[in-house]
Structure 1
């Protein structure tokens, strides 16, 4: 199944220090991929809804809430986000694709909610620190 993790959990993976209670994903919208997602949801006992292109679909599961977002604000969906996403190790062999800090910032900026501004500032600072670190590595060579 092809998807990119976005939202709060993706920001946590990148080190923003916030907390979250659900996982947001952007799946590939190819029919076979959406079938795989539906099958996986059925396997864990979750109801399989119709996915909405315009609005996020919140799916309560026995393992926690899953939000499926086909086209997050400021993006063109999975094809757009997968380009800069990295596979991040979460343990037990799980390595999902996680949206880049730049893409996460782009999504928060596009939503433009006051409540997200502190998160956006933390992401932008994280991006600055990553740039400084990569410049430092280039100098040491």
Structure 2
């Protein structure tokens, strides 16, 4: 069992962020019932794994809402291999759509730049 400062050191995630994730319901710690003199919350090794999963998922573009949908099932083995693949396939589709949107925006900016450089269109100053 680890305290929040130990989690932070081990994962490199700031304490405030860990608390935010906990308040968001991504994981929870527990108080030791035999200790009544403090309000320390302790976290198991599963929380370290979940924090690393959250970091990885965020790094590849998953939102916290998306992560919250799958994190418990993923780590409690309640989500099948096929369901994990479906989650990742949906994200790949979203990424492809975003790439298409960005390519369209890039094309419009390039046209605008070309027009400005060549004095084409209104306000060709």
TM-score category of the 2 structures, normalised to the smaller one: 0.3 to 0.5
Whichever structure has more strand as a proportion of its residues is 1
Q: TM-score, normalised by structure 1?
A: 0.32
Higher helix share: 2
TM-score, length basis structure 2:
0.35
